[in-house]
Structure 1
């Protein structure tokens, strides 16, 4: 599959597994429990892209501020000063059209790489009572059919689908979605189906180690082996 343009992560062994990088313009889900290095992977993806390839990037966060993220990055010697990377922190409780604002910012900045941290936080702001969410445009067709009960799972699946599709239409950027395991399971299943790639990060506490598995990557020949992940002075290192 040598004709496919790739977006390298800059993490040597991971790039070898995925034939040189993510397919350009793909949507990648990075899932894992807390403490599995998801945020570090996102920062490293943007930093390596800007530093090594001059790729513009946006880090979208709903919980962690710019200074906190930059302090985390500086632990590995990653300074974003002077690099074409923007950090956007959105208040999920105040933005009436959060999707629209994010898509607008992407269209304006035109990044090659985007990190959404996290899709779980994004979904947590959704109205989950019938009175609140039936007004959403995505359910107008359902309401016209008749008295179909609109469930929380239905809402989460539909809005996950809409968000990912709107992000695809925003620009030809490669998007990494961070997802906390064991939350919003119905949305996770939908997301895993819609995205082009799935990377699982895990902790094996009994052995005191972390692992990485590429569970899915379209247009890529890859294995499904769990590889040990270490944190070095310059960030994540995937063992052979």
Structure 2
């Protein structure tokens, strides 16, 4: 497993001191978020305009009612800020970008899924909560990070074997689950203050038994996807 490293493009830029302890990663997320002066527009991304599509490895939770309930509760409290809430059937953990449909063939997707299947770790669970954020989103901290890092590493290894290695290495991976995206430049303080009042909500345990290879698309100010391959862990 590669060690995490500092990366100015990641958030937080510095990795946490311990990836096995959920309390450590949550505190690290919060320290970085609460130190922000300004938030940026999540949607102002070069090459990722409305209608853009790409293949991604993700973890999706379409049937997790506890996660959906937590998300709705947080989103109701965040509503006065004018963020773009993630639909409850669109909650996900992004793992790795694979490539665009015009550059990746169906045969490569088959090979990627097949190679990944032989490398994936065993099923695991992670805890989602407390709430924190980044420069462009309000999001749930996850912990422990360790099984997510192992999963990312396995997917990166599978991608490399078929010429589809992710641009972002595992050393720069910062696991999180976004609940709302920020849609304009703004002072961070009002968002941080609202989020701080929601950090005592109980955590939700997420079971991870498969990983999804999806064709992700941007529809206005939300993300939607079609699952192309569902690969069972371990």
Task: Give TM-score scaled by structure 2 length.
Answer: 0.24
Q: Which structure has the greater CA radius of gyration?
A: 1
Q: Could you say which structure has the higher strand fraction?
A: 2
Task: Give TM-score scaled by structure 1 length.
Answer: 0.24
Q: Could you say which structure has the higher helix fraction?
A: 1
